[in-house]
A and B are shown apart, each in its own frame.
Chain A
Amino acid sequence: MAKYGNNARAIERLVRDAEVHRDVYVDQEIFELEMEHLFPNSWIYVGHASQLSKPGDFITANIGRQPVMASRHTDGSIHVFYNRCPHKGVKIASEPCGNTGKFFRCPYHAWSFKTDGSLLAIPLKKGYEGTGFTDTQANEGLSKVKNVVIYRDFIFARLSDSGVSFEDYFGESLSTIDNMVDRSPEGKLAIEAAPIRYMHTCNWKMLVENQTDTCHPMVAHESSAGTAVKVWKREQGDSTETPMAVQLYGPFMSPYEFYEQSGIRIWPNGHGHTGVANSIHSNYSDIDGYLGQMVAAYGEKRAHEILGEVRHNTVYFPNIMVKGAVQIVRNFIPIAVDKTLVESWVYRLVGAPDKLYERALMYNRFINAPTSIVGHDDLEMYERAQEGLKSNGNQWVNLRRLYESNEEQDVTAVINGTSERQMRNQFHAWAKFMTMDMDKHVEAAE
């Protein structure tokens, strides 16, 4: 049945200039190939250094289907390795995070490893003398992920030995992470709590696409954000101050013109963001004392520059979205072709007033929680798409909005905010990283 396996041309044919074939969302084999090629060839977010504040601290994650873990070593360095004992393959750590003390110990046979992954001890060591054990991969300890870059405390890893360097992969897109970090008067972010987790019965790419889809909020979210605005208008009475909650919901109902004008910026390799000129985060009330702190830390001009950058959603291809202005990162973790775990993390701006953290937490539960009415609107659409794409009536998904026939790939550009170009940008990158390590000479086998 293999239709796409190691057949780069067949995969490339799923992505046209302004259309994609439904198999990218619903085909089981394509999903397996994403796990095997797309995720290992890309730079994937593993976690944040603030989750590893002390030696022995560790976190676990998956890159595609591969279980990995990151730990803080006694010398302060951070290491990423495969979460698998080199003996019989048992997962070393089963919790999302924790502290292992001075070493990791496999629960099955007590092989132990230093916090940099190297082999510390095996019980009954004598039994390995003269067996050639020292020449095996197991003797090296936990297998390391070699390509790891920690950028301003964000830990990224690439599993594949070859591929695009971190700098070339992200390039200027890192400016969104810069802006989020710079929003702390101390230039530092911290994760202090577990993420909100939300299971989606749909393909992971539907979520990623939706981050730069500005033509759906006023339609799909009329039921949630629209109702919030309506109820507030009716109930506000003499109140002159709009509650934080209504400030967060309200802008979702902005008209098309608002999104058109606020713009989208695209970058090479599938990254891009909404909210260039302004965004739905532009008009929140000031938080007492915060601007003063920022001016003291950065000077008048720089402080205003940092706070004036209110990007809406930045997609870091393939599967995270960073929302600098409210300090949220959403990680879209593929579980199956029609199942995606969404983890939404709130970062605290170290040194900033509590009120900013309160607002970020509120935004996260209003928009990103399984109990979020805005989330209900979105998930309903993804589930309907996952079902609807089974239809044979039309096998192509249309991404032609504001398409121009001479559209260049892998460039930086600022465009109309209602364009679907960032989605086209993502699918160009999708085909590129899917087929990067495949033999391009094999012809389609149909």
Chain B
Amino acid sequence: MINEKTIADFIYREAELLDTMQWQAWLDLFHPEGRYWMPLEWQQQDPVLQPSLMYEDLLLLKVRVERLAGERTFSQKPKSRCHHLLQAPQIVACDAAGGVFKARTSYIYTETRGDLLERYSGWASHDLVQVGDSLKIKLKRVDLVNFDAPFGNIQLFM
């Protein structure tokens, strides 16, 4: 039975998989139709006809994950690492009968590579669905507080 705690645990678990670079286990959290979205506008509504930083389906996420380990992935020599500091997720919807589970989580994200360290702040919104006994990500939306700033490389996942 999915409850508020299950949803929060799922979100903590997702961040842990990213921080420990268990990429395949992370991909397995996604529904086959799942999407990862980083908007480029404040309260953006449309990922298709408005510009975004990322809007990727599972195929494209697999490409990213596979690339990270590639022999000729020069931008990963040395490799990047990341750290998520999450606030307690705010459960927006937990309707087991309707199958609607949504949460919004405020976070600080750090990505580091070599001697460089970059820090980002934002909110992650999860739209989850129940598949069998477990939850899957239908949409992970990442809104940065400074989405319009000129960033350097962001190579991992927030």
Whether chains A and B associate is yes
A contact residues vs B (CB 8 Å cutoff): 193-201, 220, 222-224, 226-228, 230-232, 235, 243, 245, 341-342, 346, 354, 357-358, 361, 364-365, 369-371, 373, 375-377, 379-381, 384
Question: Given contacts A357-B49, A369-B53, A379-B75, is CB(A197)–CB(B149) below 8 Å?
Answer: yes
Question: Given contacts A194-B40, A371-B38, is CB(A358)–CB(B49) below 8 Å?
Answer: yes
Give the docked Cα–Cα distance between A370 and B51 (Å). Answer: 13
What residues on B are CB-neighbors of A369 within 8 Å? 53-54
What residues on B are CB-neighbors of A195 within 8 Å? 51
Q: Is the CB of A377 within 8 A of B152?
A: no
Residue of B nearest to A199 (CB): B150
Which of the segments B3-11, B16-24, B66-74, B127-135 contacts the partner chain?
B66-74
B contact residues vs A (CB 8 Å cutoff): 38, 40-41, 48-55, 57, 59-60, 62-64, 66-67, 70, 72-76, 148-155
Give the docked Cα–Cα distance between A346 and B151 (Å). Answer: 18
B12 to chain A, nearest CB (A): 24
Question: Given contacts A224-B67, A243-B59, A245-B60, is CB(A196)–CB(B51) below 8 Å?
Answer: yes
What residues on B are CB-neighbors of A373 within 8 Å? 63-64, 67
What residues on B are CB-neighbors of A377 within 8 Å? 74-75
* Residue picked from A201, A222, A342, most chain B C-beta under 10 Å: A222
A194 to chain B, nearest CB (A): 6
Q: Is the CB of B152 within 8 A of A346?
A: no
Give the docked Cα–Cα distance between A101 and B6 (Å). Answer: 52
What residues on A are CB-neighbors of B41 within 8 Å? 193-194
Main secondary structure of the interface of A (DSSP, over half): helix
Residue of B nearest to A366 (CB): B60
What residues on A are CB-neighbors of B64 within 8 Å? 373
Q: Is the CB of A223 within 8 A of B75?
A: yes
Q: 5 closest Cβ contacts across the A-B interface?
A: A197-B150, A370-B151, A380-B75, A223-B73, A376-B75
Give the docked Cα–Cα distance between A227 and B49 (Å). Answer: 26
Q: Is the CB of B63 within 8 A of A227?
A: yes
Give the docked Cα–Cα distance between A375 and B154 (Å). Answer: 10
A204 to chain B, nearest CB (A): 14
Question: Given contacts A227-B63, A245-B59, A365-B52, is CB(A194)–CB(B73) below 8 Å?
Answer: no
- Can you sample 26 A-B contacts with CB below 8 Å? A194-B51, A196-B51, A196-B53, A197-B148, A197-B151, A222-B72, A223-B67, A223-B72, A223-B74, A227-B67, A227-B70, A228-B60, A228-B63, A231-B62, A235-B62, A245-B60, A354-B49, A361-B49, A365-B53, A365-B55, A373-B64, A375-B153, A376-B153, A377-B74, A379-B152, A380-B74
